Structure 1
Amino acid sequence: MAFINIIEKYSIRALEEKMSKFSRTIIILTFLVNAVVFNSHSMQAKLPDVTAIPDNLIKQPRTFAQDVKLLTDSAEKISRLSASAFGKNSYLEIFSNKEKIFSQREVRTAYRFIYLFSRYINRLAKISEKYEKENKNNLIASTLDVTAKVVAAHAAADIMSYCKDKPRLHRILNEENKEFNLPAMTQENIVKHALRPSVIAQIYKFRISHYEEAAGIIKTHDNNQSNLIPNEIKSILLAQETFMKGIIKEVVKKSALRFLTRSVVTNTKEKLEKIKTMLLGITNTAYEMENGERSIKPEHASDFCNKLEPGDIILNRCENNFSNIVLRGFWIHSMLYIGSPEKAVKYFEKDEKVKSLCRKYNVNNFVELLEAHYPEAVKVWKTTDSLFGDGGDEPRQIIEAMPTGVIITSAPQALNADHAAAIRPKLRKIDKAKAIMRAFSYFAKKYDLCFDFTSEKNVVCTELVAKAYTSDVKSEGLDFQMENVYGLIMAIPSNIIAEKFSKEYKTEKQELDFVSFMRGSRKSKSVEYESLKSFLSSYKWDDGLKSKDAR
């Protein structure tokens, strides 16, 4: 039996058969507490706070009683956290099965979970490290050492089992996050450390040699040390008996423990590398046009943006762009219009909910609110854009994800294309303000060459727009459906936004309004404003290197 199957068979939720009445009571109370704390139908469930053992206590020399308290407290908390997170209809279950794009609030819930999980694991590791040094010929030290290792190993096995068929969740739990000070590969490193061969071997040896004595199951000729082992520790050992038996069976079958070196989560690196190789450098890598120019000129772009409001979504297309071969649909690129800082202040200044949000952070207007949260992005936003290096001064009005990363740029730079359209979310100004704030949170992030919308590490153009307009309990958003691309549910092509508008137009589901559509002509080397009717059908137009519907 593979180790992962052992874990599934002997999971935390299957321990009741062998537990003492005390242990059963603890588990029942744990589930009752979590039934109140966690709403299984809400992605916004709060995770338990770390309050029982202050961090400064861990860093200072501790007494034996404090170590026992720290161990039992950590074991209880990680058991409660695991039961709440890994159960049916849990917040992680809902998060993992969601086929729509994650909101930042939802992703933060996953980050907070792995932060707490790793924190409890680290506490257990500190206890184990302390008593491992006193382990030899000392049953009490050996018991505390191994008990901490068993609890950590069981928790690691549970998270390993839970993530094995949830690649989206696995990626999030292994991403670097500065807010929670999480290094990359946090979850995988927890599993590797807690289930390393030396630990499994130590648990195996303890189980066959000292378990009954340490747990108080049998009496020995020298029972003094056993009597000094606290009942709380004995209860933990009893609760872990089934798990330890599973380890014994596996070790007996595979004494070299080679099974621990295998990756539990399906390895998609080879697949993603093939995709990355194919997509590398395709965006904005254009074939030279006959005259080297695009249909939309700077004056067209400026006039186009005069019709827009902060929060509008812009779609564009460049003919003869290599990316047109790979990416599906007529519309290839998308971005978010934010306006100049002056225009943004004016647009939001009379909205009571935006004003209330500004007062909450003790700022005077929306731009100052953005500056309080994202100073580097606003610093760039307030500068002008030297158009194509010719010394022209253009205000920066658009935020977009490009191969150079997420940037804030001018309209002529962003709309250096052949076709462009703008659509307006039918949302309140406060929802648009929060969407712009989310977009600013991605400023300077790298471009996602794997087009993986489940990752927060890098972003692609449509991902920036879609994640900006995710909804949560405090704001409304837009409903974008992700598509299965290269066998992974992970992407929203830009053309889908135009298709969404067309299919929802004049229905109860309509979330977007038409604003403007510029259609370029290579023959006349100019653009014309097209009608709503023309834009409604544009998502069906011919794609490819050069669209047959391009004039």
Structure 2
Amino acid sequence: MLKNKRLLLVTLALLLAAIVVLGMKIAYPSHRVVAFSLLGLGWLPLMASYQINRRLLRIQKHKIKKKTRPFLPHGIVALVLIAAFYVTWALFPVERSPLLGMTGDELRSGLSDDLSSYLMLRESADDLVETFEANGLLGREVNSLSRAERGTIRSLWRDGAMAFLEFDLLKGKYRGFYQIDYVAEPRLHSDTFLLAYMAYVAQYNACLQIVEMVDGNEFMETLLNEEGEGIPPDSYFFMKQRLTNPNVMLRLNAAAAYYALVRKDSGIDAGIVADFEIRRKALVKSFGANAEIFVENPLAILERAAFETLLPVQKNVAVQMSHIRTARRDYLITPEILAECQPRLEPGDILIQRRNWHMTNIGIPGFWPHVAFYVGTAEEVEAYFGELGFPPLDTLRALHPEAMVAMRTVADDGYPVRVIEAIRPGVVFQSLETSARCDYLGVIRPNLTKAEKFKALLGAFSHHGKPYDLNFDFTTDNMLVCSELVYKAYRAAGELPLQPEVISGRRLLPPNRLAEQAVASMGEGQAFSFVLFLDAVEKSNSIVERNAEAFKESWQRPKWDVMQD
């Protein structure tokens, strides 16, 4: 019995491991293969456990058959009743249709108006598909998109999401067509049915064509799923899942059969019906061409369920780890040291930081775990960007008034605000004395014009107040991590040789990798210049200022490099 329990525990452990691999996308892009391999391995101890109990089952076999055989017909009938109930519930909802409260004339008038709405929605869906086909943006790598192109995608997708919602409202209004007496009002019955069916087909076709254009571009899916700007959360995911939803498939197939019976009674314009016939035939053909979606969607649901199960755990662990520091000493870089270094900083500088003895360093790859964006005080911004020919503070105030209010306040530590960064609460302004109160500090400067740096400043300010992204994904803009804020601020200004990578299915650029990429393009005539490197010496609890060569090698230090010579 003990051996049997151990085998079952092994099966359970393999199942949990598969869920973790699937949800966290470990071994991406082969995470699904790994997860299902673990599930397959889980059958081995399960079958071994079965073999242990096989003898007992053989002894009890005749008794079990004798007890269960009389109930077999009941089980079959119950399954038939359940299936019939499901079909009836899906096709004929029990709620009273709003159509029943209307007179015949009101119905005819409403049908005429809603038919016009259908035509407009059909045209909107066609325009959306044609525009995406023409610009090719849905097939592009997300990382290659400019800010304007991302904005175009989001704007078009918002319009599409609204059109699909309007289609849903139209279908919902006429889904109770069957409550109109076919014998007494055959034309009204047929027209209300046909309007709902045409809306179903037009919406389904448009959704399917968009899915074909995205075609496995996972990060584009993430971008379309991002909430904000009038777009509901996970809109693309739910749209794609609807294509294979059992209720939708049942209604489409039942509607196709019913259409053959009642189309002769319809009074809808022949041209509209002819266009619908073309769309309906195209839809039937598309099912065979997109058969893989019927496999992909269930896998996506499993993956999403695993992710949503594990994400709260991941977030809680990250938050708890952020509170843990295993040393009692203060940070080695003091406000006095920072006061001496501050005159060497300029707006737009990138601060690369490390604090020893923090548990969060465990989960962040490499030596450098944090970066921040140096802004300077309002006076420094005015002096630095004043030569651009426009008032920089007035421009910031006009475009980002709330961020300007936060920038011009005195920090909690009594020092002036000079830094914007993404930390655990979100994107906030901090004093230099709080932000750079650490053990190691590197400062690098993008070799851009002041106009380009001001655009980066605007880009950083545009993210003020957004929450911290505990999912660590650069694809979306509604939540950010520290290196994402710096990267996206400078993406708004122009190109820098900073390139996010795909790690566990997420696009991201860890701070240490950002430092490595910057060092590779550092020097005269290159993208970055060295400004400052304050290096901790743990043995003497002191700080040593080192040169550019030392900083260029710093990213190669091991994660646990806390005992410097």
Gapped regions of structure 1 (runs ≥ 5)? 1-60, 215-222, 356-364, 388-392
Q: Is the 8 A contact 2:202 2:279 kept in 1?
A: no
Q: Taking structure 1 as reference, are residues 248 and 480 closer, same or farther at Cα in structure 2, changes over 3 Å only? A: closer
Amino acid at match of 2:408: K
Letter in structure 1 aligned against 2:550: S
Residue of structure 2 in register with 1:240 after alignment? 280
1:547 partnered with 2:562: yes
Equivalent residues in 2 for 1:419-438 (5 A)? 419-438=440-459
SS in 1 for 2:384: helix
Give the match for residue 175 of structure 1. Answer: 226
Is residue 498 of structure 1 aligned with residue 534 of structure 2? no
Greater displacement, 395-404 / 125-134? 125-134
Which moved further from structure 2: 160-169 or 393-402? 160-169
Query: Cα distance 1:278–1:269, how it changes in 2: closer, same or farther (>3 A)?
Result: farther
State the match for 2:546 in structure 1: 530
- The structure 1 residue matched to 2:495, chosen from 477, 487, 494, is 477
> For 1:336, which of 360, 364, 373 is the aligned residue?
373
State the alpha-carbon separation in 2 of the partners of residues 160 and 266 from structure 1.
19
Cα deviation digits, residues 354-374 of structure 1 (max 9, x gap): x2xxxxxxxxx2223222232
Q: Distance in 2 between matches of 1:495 and 1:261?
A: 36
Q: Which is bigger in relative contact order (C-alpha 8 A, separation at least 6)?
A: 1
Letter in 2 for 1:111: R
Aligned pair partner of 2:162 in 111, 116, 119 = 119
Report matched runs for 1:392-411 at 5 Å.
Answer: 393-411=414-432
Shift of 1:285: 4.0
**Distance apart, 1:307 and its partner CA:** 0.9
Task: Give the equivalent residue in structure 1 for 2:5.
Answer: none
Partner of 2:466: 445
SS at match of 2:415: strand
User: For 1:373, which of 377, 395, 399 is the aligned residue?
Assistant: 399
Task: For residues 326-350 of structure 1, give each alpha carbon's deviation from its aligned partner in whole angstroms, at most 9, with x where no partner exists.
Answer: 3222222100000011211221111
Which residue in 1 is equivalent to 2:257?
208
Q: CA separation in 2, counterparts of 1:284 and 1:199?
A: 46
Distance 1:408 1:249 in 2: 52
More helix by share: 2
Match of 2:129? 82
Superposed CA RMSD in Å reads: 3.3
Q: Superposition pairs for residues 281-300 of structure 1, below 5 Å? A: 281=319, 284-289=322-327, 292-300=329-337
Residues 2-401 of structure 1 aligned to structure 2 (within 5 Å)? 64-85=111-132, 90-94=136-140, 97-99=141-143, 104-134=147-177, 136=180, 137=182, 138-160=189-211, 162-163=213-214, 165-177=216-228, 179=229, 181-191=230-240, 196-211=245-260, 214=263, 225-226=265-266, 228-244=268-284, 262=298, 264=300, 267=303, 270=306, 273=310, 276=314, 280-281=318-319, 284-289=322-327, 292-352=329-389, 355=390, 365-387=391-413, 393-401=414-422
Give the Å deviation of 1:243.
1.5
Mapped to 1, the partners of 2:514 and 2:285 lie a distance apart of: 54
Preserved contact between residue 283 and residue 403 of structure 1 (Cα < 8 Å): no
The DSSP-based 3-state class of the residue aligned with 1:187 is helix
Whole-angstrom CA distance in 2 between matches of 1:145 and 1:501: 57
Native 8 Å contact 1:195 1:260 kept in 2: no
Give the residue type in structure 1 aligned to 2:250: A
Give the conservation status (yes or no) of the 8 Å contact 1:282–1:322. no
2:368 partner amino acid? W
The CA distance in 1 between the partners of 2:132 and 2:272, in whole Å, is: 24
Question: 2: distance between equivalents of 1:78 and 1:248?
Answer: 22
Q: Which whole-Å deviations, capped at 9, do the CAs of 1:471-520 have from their partners, x for residues lacking one?
A: 5xxx42323112332x3242211122322232223486x21111112122
The 8 Å contact of residues 137 and 149 in structure 2, kept in 1 or not, is answered as: no
Shift of 1:151: 1.0
| Structure 1 length-normalised TM | 0.72
- What amino acid sits opposite 1:232 in the alignment? I
Q: CA deviation at 1:276?
A: 2.1
CA deviation profile, 1:6-56 (whole Å, cap 9, x unmatched): xxxxxxxxxxxxxxxxxxxxxxxxxxxxxxxxxxxxxxxxxxxxxxxxxxx
- Aligned counterparts of 1:429 and 1:303: Cα–Cα separation in 2: 24
CA–CA distance in 2 between the matches of 1:236 and 1:536?
65
- For the structure 1 residues 347 and 519, does the alpha-carbon distance in structure 2 shift closer, same or farther, using more than 3 Å as the test? same
Is residue 244–residue 297 contact of structure 2 (8 Å, CA) maintained in 1? no
State how far apart, in whole Å, the 2-side matches of 1:468 and 1:457 are: 14
Taking structure 1 as reference, are residues 248 and 206 closer, same or farther at Cα in structure 2, changes over 3 Å only? farther
Structure 1 counterpart of 2:499, one-letter code = Q
Moved more, 268-277 or 313-322: 268-277
> Cα offset for 1:316?
1.1
Distance (Å, rounded) in 1 between the aligned partners of 2:341 and 2:169: 61
The alpha-carbon distance between structure 1 residues 123 and 404, as it changes in their structure 2 partners (threshold 3 A), is: closer
TM-score of the aligned structures, taking structure 2 as reference length:
0.71
Q: Match of 1:9?
A: none
Match of 1:39 in 2: none
Aligned length: 446
- Unmatched segments (≥5 aa) in structure 2: 1-107, 183-188
User: Cα 1:289–1:98, aligned 2, differ >3 Å: closer, same or farther?
Assistant: same
Distance 2:443 2:451 in 1: 20
Equivalents in 1 of 2:419, 2:523: separation in Å? 28
Deviation of 1:529 after TM superposition, in Å, equals 2.2
1:406 Cα deviation after fit: 1.3
CA spacing shift, 1:114–1:309, aligned 2, 3 Å: same
Tell me which amino acid in the other structure corresponds to 2:365. Answer: R
Match of 1:462 in 2: 483
Cα distance in 1 for partners of 2:403, 2:422 equals 13
The residue identity in structure 2 corresponding to 1:175 is E
